[in-house]
């Protein structure tokens, strides 16, 4: 099938950047991204590209170049689906918060709604592409919905999971390690391979069966997260043995069988994917009665929760066992640098723990606003919205956030934090002035020479 029009359902962190790059590299294809969230679509259409709903380095430039030419953002979902030969489903698949599988399984209601919508409005044959991360065998459910419409429209279903990481999404999309396409119909697979073939060499486009493709996505995230939990486990051991986790990571990472990536000890991984996808993997394994497999992967999450908790425990015990009424300045709220995404950010859980101990929290993040921070805390339901508002203040100026603080907690590894005037910062803090570097981005000796009481992870 020759693809001239693509529709992508879901204008989020994956749909937006992925389709922008597909449009840039395929000027002959009209790409329309649709969403039920009219506010989000309006933000994508904002003339001022600094107001796009997602911050990703390089994204605004591509949107500016393609928007209105062959990239469109719209709320006209039905029309856009029907016009397209290829429809991507790129909606959210969060962990279920109710019913069977609550807290573990992926909630597939948004995906099912998309499938039903496609089934309802399609009048011509379509290739339907699962771009969302889905449990193994979801394609079966989508197929069943699409094949029972009663019309004579034909649907081919492909699994094409996305491997981009936030903060580097555009680079990852422009230069992917691989593109994975799982499917039954060779013709449909080749139609999608051609879209990617505009800029990805064919040896990087893997064709598999649909179930391998779905499972590979969950497995890739589980392996990546497992490396972080592994190094974080060693970081705690380092703190008891005078070994330095950075030195250990370097030493093991130089073994080409291990490799250097994803070995940065931290306050624990966050983001919308790792925890959700591992919980889902654990749930699937348990549902097949594979309890040892499930327990093995669950440990990655248990260790990650422990890492977040021990960071805040250490902060409290170092501040003479109480943070009640003390100002703690948090630098960073996003789950990693170069994104405005805060989903599952360790900062949320560390803040919540400190608030339970009656701390007063001052936050500065270069890309996250007060509304988002309050919403993240309110979502936990630990205290009233009013209490969160009273106890947590957000600042546009890091120095104002830090002024008169008892301690600084570095939550995100934003590059700008390294360039601050740390002597000046020492001068405006309460003494002793404590730094808890959850990302190991500052130099211990330099900080101690200024006068700080400095503690980091795994040293
Ligand atoms: P997101 O929440 O940023 O975006 C999803 C969008 O889908 C939202 O704007 C929502 O309004 C829209 N939507 C939901 N139901 C809809 C419907 N029925 N019709 C139209 N629009 C609808 O989510 P995301 O981060 O882009 O993730 C999407 C999927 O991609 C998830 O399955 C996720 O696991 C996967 N994924 C995410 C990343 C990442 O880094 N965020 C990376 C790889 C894969
Ligand atoms: C991840 C996967 O990397 C990506 O392939 C997938 O498509 C989506 O999930 P993302 O969550 O956007 O991407 O970012 P990632 O760079 O993987 O970081 C996830 C979390 O792990 C962040 O909180 C990050 O700070 C943390 N991390 C990462 C560490 O603590 N140490 C590391 O060495 C690497």
Beta bridge partners of 330: 363, 409
- Considering the candidates 24, 217, 276, 337, report the single residue annotated as catalytic: 217
Pairwise CA distance, residues 150 & 39, whole Å: 35
Q: Is 17 in the pocket of ligand 2 (CB under 6 A)?
A: no
Ligand 1: atom nearest CA of 133 is 32
* Three-state DSSP state, 393: strand
- Say whether 273 is catalytic: yes
What secondary structure does DSSP assign to 370-381, as a single string? HHHHHHHHHHHT
On the question of pLDDT at 130 being above 90, the answer is: yes
If one counts every other C-beta atom within 10 angstroms of the C-beta of residue 18, the result is 25
pLDDT score at 404: 98
pLDDT score at 285: 97
pLDDT score at 222: 98
> From residue 190, how far is each of 115, 202, 205 by CA, in Å?
22, 11, 10
pLDDT digits (tens, 9 = 90+) for 304-331: 999 999 999 999 999 999 999 999 999 9
pLDDT digits (tens, 9 = 90+) for 19-66: 999 999 999 999 999 999 999 999 999 999 999 999 999 999 999 999
Pairwise CA distance, residues 29 & 70, whole Å: 7
Q: How far is the CA of 83 from the centre of ligand 1 (A)?
A: 22
pLDDT digits (tens, 9 = 90+) for 146-163: 988 778 899 999 999 999
On the question of pLDDT at 278 being above 80, the answer is: yes
Q: Within 208-290, where are the H helices?
A: 210-241, 245-253, 274-287
Instruction: Give the residue-averaged pLDDT of 354-379.
Output: 98
DSSP state of 49: G
Task: Determine the residue of 273, 338, 415 to mutate for testing ligand 2's pocket, defined as the one with the most ligand atoms within 8 A of the Cβ atom.
Answer: 273
- Say whether 166 is catalytic: no
pLDDT digits (tens, 9 = 90+) for 95-117: 999 999 999 999 999 999 999 99
- Asked if 249 and 231 touch (Cβ cutoff 8 Å), the reply is yes
Question: pLDDT grade, residue 251 (50/70/90)?
Answer: very high
- Asked if 172 and 13 touch (Cβ cutoff 8 Å), the reply is no
Pairwise CA distance, residues 342 & 363, whole Å: 13
Pairwise CA distance, residues 212 & 225, whole Å: 20
- Considering the candidates 56, 130, 162, 239, report the single residue annotated as catalytic: 162
Question: pLDDT grade, residue 194 (50/70/90)?
Answer: very high
Instruction: Give the residue-averaged pLDDT of 350-367.
Output: 98
* Backbone φ, ψ for residue 437 (5° rounding): -95, 95
Q: Is 168 in the pocket of ligand 2 (CB under 6 A)?
A: no
pLDDT score at 166: 97
DSSP state of 30: E
pLDDT score at 1: 80
| Intra-chain end-to-end CA distance of the chain, in Å | 57
pLDDT digits (tens, 9 = 90+) for 395-419: 999 999 999 999 999 999 999 999 9
DSSP state of 204: G
Residues in the chain, overall count: 459
pLDDT, mean over the chain: 97
pLDDT digits (tens, 9 = 90+) for 60-85: 999 999 999 999 999 999 999 999 99
pLDDT score at 152: 86
Q: Is 269 in the pocket of ligand 2 (CB under 6 A)?
A: yes
pLDDT score at 102: 96
- Asked if 435 and 453 touch (Cβ cutoff 8 Å), the reply is yes
- Asked if 372 and 294 touch (Cβ cutoff 8 Å), the reply is no
> Which residue in 167, 176, 36 sits closest to 92, CA to CA?
36
Pairwise CA distance, residues 22 & 39, whole Å: 23
Q: How far is the CA of 271 from the centre of ligand 2 (A)?
A: 7
Long-range contacts of 243-252 (CB under 8 A, 24+ apart): 244/458, 244/459, 245/440, 245/457, 245/458, 245/459, 246/440, 246/458, 246/459, 248/458
Q: How far is the CA of 224 from the centre of ligand 2 (A)?
A: 8
| Across 87-91, 141-145, 227-231, least confident range | 141-145
- Residue of the CA atom closest to atom 6 of ligand 1: 10
pLDDT score at 250: 98
* Vertex 314: Cα angle to 313 and 318 (nearest 5): 120
Q: Within 68-209, where are the H helices?
A: 77-83, 109-121, 138-146, 169-174, 186-197
């Amino acid at each position: 099938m020759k693809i001239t029009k693509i529709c992508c359902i879901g204008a989020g962190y994956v749909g937006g950047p992925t389709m922008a790059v597909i449009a840039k590299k395929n000027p002959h294809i009209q790409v329309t991204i649709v969403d039920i969230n009219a506010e989000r679509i309006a933000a994508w259409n904002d003339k001022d590209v600094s107001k796009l709903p997602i911050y990703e380095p390089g994204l605004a430039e591509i949107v500016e170049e393609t928007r209105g030419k062959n990239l469109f953002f719209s709320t006209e979902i039905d029309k856009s689906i029907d016009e397209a030969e290829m429809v991507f489903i790129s909606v959210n698949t969060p962990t279920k918060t109710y019913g069977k599988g609550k807290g573990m399984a992926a909630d597939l209601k948004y995906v099912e709604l998309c499938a039903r919508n496609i089934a309802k409005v399609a009048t011509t044959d379509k290739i339907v592409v699962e771009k969302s991360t889905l449990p193994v065998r979801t394609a079966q459910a989508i197929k069943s919905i699409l094949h029972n419409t009663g019309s004579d429209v034909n649907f081919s279903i492909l699994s094409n999971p996305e491997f981009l990481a936030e903060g580097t999404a555009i680079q990852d999309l422009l230069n992917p390690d691989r593109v994975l396409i799982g499917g039954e119909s060779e013709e449909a697979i080749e139609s999608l391979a051609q879209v990617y073939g505009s800029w990805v060499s064919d040896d990087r486009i893997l064709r598999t069966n649909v179930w391998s493709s779905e499972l590979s996505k969950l497995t890739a995230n589980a392996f990546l997260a497992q490396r972080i939990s592994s190094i974080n486990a060693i970081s705690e051991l380092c703190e008891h043995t005078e070994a330095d986790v950075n030195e250990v990571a370097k030493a093991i990472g130089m073994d080409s069988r291990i490799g250097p990536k994803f070995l940065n000890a931290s306050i624990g991984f966050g983001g919308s994917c790792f925890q959700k996808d591992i919980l889902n993997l654990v749930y699937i394994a348990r549902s097949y009665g594979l309890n040892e497999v499930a327990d093995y992967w669950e440990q990655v999450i248990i260790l990650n929760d422990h890492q977040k908790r021990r960071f805040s425990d250490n902060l409290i015990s170092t501040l003479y066992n109480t943070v009640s009424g003390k100002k703690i300045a948090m630098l960073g709220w996003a789950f990693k640098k170069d994104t405005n995404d805060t989903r599952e950010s360790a900062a949320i859980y560390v803040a919540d723990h400190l608030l339970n101990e009656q701390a007063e929290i001052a936050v500065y993040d270069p890309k996250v606003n007060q509304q988002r921070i309050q919403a993240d805390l309110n979502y936990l339901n630990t205290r009233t919205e009013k209490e969160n508002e009273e106890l947590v203040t957000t600042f546009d100026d890091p120095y104002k956030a830090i002024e008169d603080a008892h301690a600084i907690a570095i939550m995100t590894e934003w590059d700008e934090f390294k360039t601050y005037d740390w002597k000046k910062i020492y001068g405006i803090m309460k003494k002793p002035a404590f730094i808890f570097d959850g990302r190991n981005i500052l130099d211990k000796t330099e900080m101690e020479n200024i006068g700080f009481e400095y503690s980091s992870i795994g040293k």
